[in-house]
Structure 1
Amino acid sequence: MICSSLCSWPIFNSLESKFVTQIHMVFVYGTLGNEALIVMKNKMVYGLGKNVNGCLGIGDKDATLEPQKVEVLCGKDIKTFAYGNGPHVLALTKEGEVYSWGFNNRGQLAQRVNKKSSLQVISIPTLVQLRTPEGSLGMKRIMNIACGSNHSVAITEDGEVYICGDNRYNQLGNVYFNSPDNEYLFRPQLVNDNSDRKKIVHVSCGGAFTMAITTSHEVYGWGNNSFGQLGIRENCETKYTPQRVDLKEGLAVVKVVCGIEHTLALTNEKKIYAWGRNDDGQLGIGSKEFIFRRPIMIKHETEIKWIDIAALNCSNISVAVSEEGRVYVWGNCHGEKIMTPTVTPFSNMHDAVARYGPSVMHEPLILYANGGPGILECLKTAFNDSSTSDLKIEVEGQDIHVHKAVLRIRSLHFKTMFQHNWKENNQSIIKPGQFSYVVYKAFLKYLYTGVIDLPIEKTSELLDLAEEYCESNLKQHCIHMIKQGITVSNVAHFYAIAVKCNLLELEKFCVNFAINHTSAVTQTDDDFAELIQKMMKTFIMKAGKVDFKK
């Protein structure tokens, strides 16, 4: 049995359960997620997978199907990892040390290796030393790391930014070094001026640019600006000096993340601003305009308050978490262009990234922060686990393994079933017949996790189930999920469901949405056109009664 947090990442499927129970942290990277680093509770570190250019850090370039020790890192207290498509890897310890390994063709490992020699690959994690402004090599405590495609960035506890690697797009900032073509730097050096010596508290890298947040919550960027990813007024290809992002006065940014050529910023008011390339809808603003050089706030019909954001330096996907704990995605989601934040069935960003992203992690996944799984994690893992189940539910010939105690506690329907003299009370197999396997499984999983893991088009059947089983909380969750997933192409469909089920709250929401998008709704697919025409009279009648202030 594999931990539910790892189920979304196929590279871990072959691990033995005894090994999995001792895992503290994992990081999946590489092409299509075919490489991983594993940190155990006892601080042992392992590499697993393809090992391109020695990126597992195990001392060679051979792939491995079994976890192999990363000897240099074993015993270190690992804080986080970062990965660049070079490919190269950084590891940061809680003591503030940085180790690097992988491909070093442009100095991204911060190790002095002859560019023309065969030693461009370093397969053993090597300690990075920083060059101080006085020119000496010393050890400074590092608090944060990030990787672009071929450059690396580190922030010291003093708020200084050190940087190395590829400089073809000025992504190293205004560092000075002796390179004949000014294209790469093999030793990390302090970014001169460092945003007028402002202290930096957070950094993120896109493919060939860098964004940083100061202690005063301002955002600065430098490097490639071909698609406006620096968020400045000036229409220029690159910037070698840190430039302040053109955000409204008074906005305080608490987090910034970078896609390959776009940027997201989260403010203390729980709003998201986006800028840069938008060909896949990765800015989430509903527009097909290719480039936005100035920050624009992401808006949603339900006025969502956001608490976290994520992006990947190799992708055009964007991810965010709402105050209610729902995860949204937009941009390039497995080839689909999603133009606005769209709710997913997940409650954590790693699962959403695994499902819709490029199969690599945006940051390491910590399994058990306090040394062991909590109650919620145990419940998630227990769902559909035949080894602990005491009840089997068969739907459309497929089995779902559950636990009577959990069903009794979480569902009025099952509580009534098991407390009274229903024939199912004494059976080890129950065969409900009204609903599909996919929907019934989603219902049972909801009882274990509190999350609806179901495509939005299936929620109408789940609503029927909630009505049949008197599950009022599930009913509200379905309505909330539908409201957050309403689009021009499905508003008529869900309006019909709202009318049929007498769901006044959803009905009113659909009316508001349709009126606000009248032109677009009337131009939807043929499947909806006839339905819209039939409802138009009702829409118009209700429009006069809608209170837009609510």
Structure 2
Amino acid sequence: MEDEPPPQGVSAKALEATLLSALKMLDVGKWPIFSLCSSEEIKLIRQACVFGSAGNEVLYTTENDEVFVLGMNCSGCLGTGDMQSTIEPRRLDSLCGKKIACLSYGSGPHVVLATEEGEVYTWGHNAYSQLGNGTTNHGFVPCQVSTNLVNKKVIEVACGSHHSMVLTSDGEVYTWGYNNSGQVGSGSTANQPIPRRVTSCLQNKIVVNIACGQMCSMAVVENGEVYVWGYNGNGQLGLGSSGNQPTPCRIAALQGIRVQRVACGYAHTLVLTDEGQIYAWGANSYGQLGTGNKSNQSYPTTVIVDKDRVIEIAACHSAHTSAAKTQSGQVYMWGQCRGQSVTFPHLTHFACTDDVFACFATPAVMWRLLSVEPDDHLTVAQSLKKEFDNPETADLKFLVDGKYIHVHKVLLKIRCEHFRSILNNDDEIIEMSEFSYPVYRAFLEYLYTDNIRLPPEDAIGLLDLATLYRENRLKKLCQQTIKQGICEENAIALLSAAVKYEAQDLEEFCFRFCINHLTVVTQTQGFADMDHDLLKNFISKASRVGAFRN
């Protein structure tokens, strides 16, 4: 179908500019505080975070990297140098041009942010030294936190009610602030006025993700283990008890499960595994664990979100609300939703988890810094992506399964050693019969975009191609795609492919998935049709890891 012409009276260029503007706008209208801003001001917003005890404060950045704030200004949390509330956006000159990478906030509130350079700035409530400047005086303007963070690049920040935590690029965790329940992980309950590294059993671990509940802290390390410390009165540490923990402790109940992300609510915890599953524990008085009841849980409990793979979890330490997004783009919510208790994950009409907190959480805050990237011009990578399969500029066609794929010889030669050796200048059409059309198209598109878009079953064919063409990075991407799409029905087929193509990491992943879902996997047709040698090796290996013990 041909593109329709633009409406009469609107030039193509004007229409394109309108579309670009729409792409760049941040959808913040669902948060009530933005009703104080004009439509012109909202159009310029590129990052925003609504925070405070009632969602009455906001910080946002514009396309020129200017930083503005407005709202109630409790405890000087707007950073304007005073405690005056404002319904007009006020500019924070000290942060303009800094390029904010991440931001978190406490209950006072206090604010902690990191720039793209890895610098940390704090301001606001400070009665418990949560600003990390060694005092208990409120901070009315953003000040850089440098003690013990010199030459450290901070890549993630998290705040509890009155304590702060940051993660550095080398996998170290630093904490400071309120410590009545051991939430700074120092081994005592004395407040910590300046950043200190959390050591104990994290000493030799590389941390990849952090989160804070009201008075507890969490860290995920690179091998997927979860370490927890602080207040545990509702079982939010997942240790099977309700005693506080003054130093990091590994959650033993998650043994053999690789966690990728952790998110904390007021007194409950969610984690997301590499298999796209959610586990939850802690307080459950509003159904925020998604287990169908309101009983607290001190052990990790599986949360069933339809049958789709989950790719994102969301929670906020000021709320009793949980949210998740699946691979197909569906958004679910559960817990306290505008005063009601939703005890099972409920499918919403939203496109992102952020909207759950805007419309249903109490208060209506943001669980993360909301961002949009400007796209005033196409980068080299974007330009190449746009030209894939473009017959107007292509000088070569592949014929696969009766369909043409249009490409550019020079790009293929630059990107792939295989094509560098086989392509001739006089080639116009090349027929390909070794691989299916979806597989070969995905391969050629990968050369233009560095990404692949394929279901896991087709990714097996692409893995075969990547092996044949010695494209090691493509092999890794195929393995990631297969991991994301694994289920009980296709697990054996994917395991067989991993063995065939000597993808050891993928083989180990598929084997572990089969063991974790052994009862269902052994009842599938794939298991019944399993190659004899593969079955023999599978049973032997499963036996060694104790899969058949009573």
User: What is the TM-score of this pair, normalised by structure 1?
Assistant: 0.62
Out of 244, 253, 264, the residue aligned to residue 258 of structure 1 is 264
Check if 1:61 corresponds to 2:74: no
Q: 1:154 aligns with which of 146, 149, 166?
A: 166
In 2: Cα distance, 1:367 partner to 1:252 partner = 30
Question: Where does residue 338 of structure 1 map in the other structure?
Answer: 342
Q: Does 1:318 align with 2:325?
A: no
Alpha-carbon distance change, 372 to 210 in structure 1, aligned in 2, over 3 angstroms: farther
1:347 to 345, 348, 351: 351
| Cα-to-partner distance string for 1:248-302 (whole Å, 9 max, x where unaligned) | 432111110000111000011110000111111100011232x2111011124x4
Structure-2 separation of matches of 1:354 and 1:334: 10
Q: Percent identity?
A: 38
Aligned to 2:522: none
Aligned to 2:130: 108
8 Å CA contact 1:41–1:371 kept in 2: the answer is no
Displacement of 1:174 in angstroms is 2.2
Residue 40 of structure 1 is matched in structure 2 by 62
1:87 deviation in Å?
A: 1.4
- Match runs of 1:232-311 below 5 Å: 232-233=239-240, 235-289=241-295, 291-300=296-305, 302-311=306-315
The change in CA–CA distance for 1:19 and 1:170 in structure 2 (over 3 A counts) is same
Q: Is the 8 A contact 1:130 1:162 kept in 2?
A: no
SS across alignment from 1:27:
strand
Q: Deviations over 1:164-196 (max 9, x none)?
A: 0001000010257xxxxx531111111132524
Q: Is the 8 A contact 1:160 1:194 kept in 2?
A: no
Distance 1:47 1:194, change over 3 A: farther
Corresponding position of 1:387: none
Partner of 2:225: 218
What is the aligned partner in structure 1 of residue 546 from structure 2?
Answer: none
Classify the secondary structure of the residue corresponding to 1:130.
Answer: coil
8 A contact 1:228–1:294 mirrored in 2: yes
Q: How many residues align?
A: 355
Shift of 1:20: 2.1
What whole-Å deviation, never above 9, does each CA across 1:419-461 have from its counterpart, x for those lacking one? xxxxxxxxxxxxxxxxxxxxxxxxxxxxxxxxxxxxxxxxxxx
Give the Å deviation of 1:321. 0.6
* Distance across 2 between alignment mates of 1:372 and 1:330: 40
Which residue, 363, 366, 369 being the options, matches 1:361? 366
TM-superposed CA distance for 1:236, in Å, is: 3.9
Quote the offset at 1:354 in angstroms: 0.7
**1:202 has 2:220 as partner:** no
Q: Does 1:192 align with 2:196?
A: no
CA drift at 1:352: 1.6
Structure 1 runs of 4+ with >4 Å offset:
1-4
Whole-angstrom CA distance in 1 between matches of 2:314 and 2:27? 18
Extract unaligned runs of 5+ from structure 1.
132-136, 177-181, 374-550
Secondary structure (helix, strand or coil) at the match of 2:235 reads coil
For 1:173, the equivalent position in structure 2 comes to 185
RMSD: 1.9
Deviations 1:190-244 (A, max 9, x none): 11325242111110000000010001111110000111111113x2420011111
Aligned partner of 2:138 in structure 1 is 121
In structure 1, distance between residues paired with 2:54 and 2:329: 27
Question: Given the two structures, how large is their TM-score scaled by the length of structure 2?
Answer: 0.62
| Counterpart-to-counterpart distance in 2, 1:315 and 1:68 | 28
List per-residue Cα deviations over 1:343-386 (Å, max 9, x = no partner): 1111111112111112000011113453599xxxxxxxxxxxxx
Contact 1:45 1:69 in 2 (8 A): yes
Alignment of 1:96 onto 2:124: no
Instruction: Note the C-alpha offset of 1:304.
Output: 2.9
Does 1:141 pair with 2:153? yes
